[in-house]
Amino acid sequence: MNRVDYSSSDDSHTAWFCVRSQPKHEHIAAANLRRNPDIDVLNLRIRFKRSTRRGPVWVTDALFPGYVLALFDLARCLRLVQSTGGVTGVVHFGHRWPTVPPEAIAELRAMFGDEEVRVIGADVETGDVVRISGGVLDSLEGVVTRVMPGRKRVAVLLDFLGRQTAVEVDIASIINTDRHL
């Protein structure tokens, strides 16, 4: 029989653990874990524009693909967590169960807020590097020279056919490549 070492948490101590989910099922694992009042879950996601042939589309992906963070008592809840729908296991190294420091969780919560979603690249400013998505200028990159919010357009300086050309495009057809977390 395998001996499980709970050294990262004593018998009555809860800690944050990294829980592995089924691929692309982080939201399902998190929802199922949240049904248990003894478990706190953090399922962080990012929302951003992704370029497609038909133009940019908004997508939401997990910040940590394949994982959610959960606060629980390892000794009491390990089997329950492991048998939860959408969960494939709790990260461990042999008989050691590493924990996530509470300070890291507090910092992540401060960055992402209560909804656990962070929007990336939602705004555009003069000087930002952007990629045009869709249409005849698809995949061309340029620098924003002017933002016209009332018309929902931006002026972009492109390197096109060996020279710089300024074009006006719909703000919805660009993806900001400068914005990061």
Same domain flag for 110 and 136: no
Q: Write out pLDDT tens, residues 99-146.
A: 999 999 999 999 888 889 888 765 788 888 888 888 888 888 999 998
Q: Write out pLDDT tens, residues 56-112.
A: 788 899 999 999 999 999 999 999 999 999 999 999 999 999 999 999 999 999 988
Same domain flag for 28 and 114: yes
Same domain flag for 38 and 110: yes
Query: Do the bridges between strand 117-119 and strand 45-50 make them parallel or antiparallel, or are there none, so unpaired?
Result: parallel
In this structure, what CATH number is given to the domain that contains residue 138?
2.30.30.30
Residue 64 lies in a domain: yes
- Residue 95 belongs to what domain range? 15-119
Categorize the per-residue pLDDT at 3 as very low, low, confident or very high, splitting at 50, 70 and 90: very low
Same domain flag for 99 and 149: no
Same domain flag for 107 and 155: no
Categorize the per-residue pLDDT at 1 as very low, low, confident or very high, splitting at 50, 70 and 90: very low
pTM of the model as a whole: 0.67
Question: Would you state the pLDDT for residue 36?
Answer: 96
Same domain flag for 134 and 100: no
Number of domains in the chain: 2
Among residues 10, 12, 32, 14, the alpha carbon closest in space to that of 22 is found at 32
Residue 4 lies in a domain: no
Question: Would you state the pLDDT for residue 45?
Answer: 94
Question: Would you state the pLDDT for residue 181?
Answer: 42
Question: Would you state the pLDDT for residue 178?
Answer: 67
Same domain flag for 27 and 110: yes
Calpha distance 117→61 (Å, rounded): 9
In this structure, what CATH number is given to the domain that contains residue 42?
3.30.70.940
Question: Would you state the pLDDT for residue 2?
Answer: 40
